[in-house]
A and B are shown apart, each in its own frame.
Chain A
Amino acid sequence: VKSELRWCVGKFIYSRGAESPMHFMPLQDFTLVDFLEQSRLFGLRAMRKGLSGKTGLVDSLARLTENEVFACLAETTLRLFQLPSRERGATPRVVEYSPSVGPVFEYFKLMAETLRSAGGTDAFVRVNWTGIGPQAFRMKFEILHADEESQATYYSDNGATVADWTRLCQEADVAVFNHYQAVREIDPVALPLKECLLATNLAQVFAAYVVQGTSPSWRTTVKGKDVLLPAREDLETMLVANDPTWRFFWCPGYDEKFFLPEDGPRTGLLFGCTGRTETVSPVLKR
Chain B
Amino acid sequence: MSERVRLKRFDPLPLAGEGLFDRQSDETQLVALTIETKYQFANPSGEIVHEYLLPSNADMHNAGGYVDKLVKYRDPALRKHLRHSGVNAVALFDERFPILKSRSPRLDFLLFEWIRIIRDQQNGGRVSLFDLGCTVCEHWDMLDAMLQAASDGREGAASALSYHGLDKSVMLLSIGRLLHSQVEPQHFQLMRADGAQFDFPPESFDLTLSVGVVNHVSDPRISLERMLSVTRHAAVLALWVTDEKKGFWGMIHSGLAFYVFSLQDLLGLEQIHGGRFYYTDYIPEEQGSQQKSLVGVGVERIKHIGCYHLVFSKRGAPPFQALPLAHAADRGKDL
The digit string for A1-43, where 1 denotes a CB below 8 A from any CB of B, is 0111111111111111100011111111011111110110010
Contact B4–A7 (Cβ < 8 Å): no
Alpha-carbon separation in the docked complex, A258 to B55 (Å): 14
Contact A36–B6 (Cβ < 8 Å): no
Given A46-B174, A55-B170, A143-B71, A224-B1 contact (CB < 8 Å): yes
Alpha-carbon separation in the docked complex, A77 to B169 (Å): 34
Choose one: B32, B37, B63; the contact of A11 (CB below 8 Å).
Answer: B37
The segment out of B44-52, B201-209, B213-221, B241-249 that lies at the interface is: B44-52
Majority secondary structure of chain A interface residues (helix, strand, loop or mixed): mixed
Q: Does A56 interact with chain B (Cβ within 8 Å)?
A: yes
How far apart are B58's CB and chain A's nearest CB, in angstroms? 9
Q: Does A118 interact with chain B (Cβ within 8 Å)?
A: no
A-B contact count (CB 8 A): 194
Choose one: A13, A27, A30, A260; the contact of B295 (CB below 8 Å).
Answer: A13
Nearest A residue (CB) for B174: A55
Alpha-carbon separation in the docked complex, A8 to B31 (Å): 25
How far apart are A100's CB and chain B's nearest CB, in angstroms? 12
Choose one: B40, B64, B75, B291; the contact of A7 (CB below 8 Å).
Answer: B40
Number of interface residues of A (CB under 8 A): 57
How far apart are B62's CB and chain A's nearest CB, in angstroms? 9
Contact B2–A261 (Cβ < 8 Å): no
The digit string for A89-107, where 1 denotes a CB below 8 A from any CB of B, is 0000000000000000000
The segment out of B8-16, B122-130, B232-240, B268-276 that lies at the interface is: B8-16
Nearest B residue (CB) for A223: B39
Q: Does B54 interact with chain A (Cβ within 8 Å)?
A: yes
Given A22-B295, A23-B253, A11-B171 contact (CB < 8 Å): no
Which of the four size classes fits the interface of chain B? 35 or more
Alpha-carbon separation in the docked complex, A258 to B41 (Å): 12
Alpha-carbon separation in the docked complex, A57 to B57 (Å): 11
Contact A27–B6 (Cβ < 8 Å): no
Q: Does A194 interact with chain B (Cβ within 8 Å)?
A: no
Choose one: B20, B39, B171; the contact of A22 (CB below 8 Å).
Answer: B20
- List 9 A-B pairs, Cβ < 8 Å: A3-B6, A6-B43, A7-B7, A9-B40, A11-B56, A21-B13, A23-B296, A34-B64, A220-B5
List 5 tightest A-B contacts by C-beta distance, closest first.
A35-B64, A56-B171, A56-B170, A16-B32, A55-B174
List the interface of chain B (C-beta within 8 A of A).
1-13, 20, 31-44, 46, 49-52, 54-57, 59-61, 63-65, 67-68, 71-72, 74-75, 169-175, 177-178, 181-182, 253-255, 289-293, 295-296
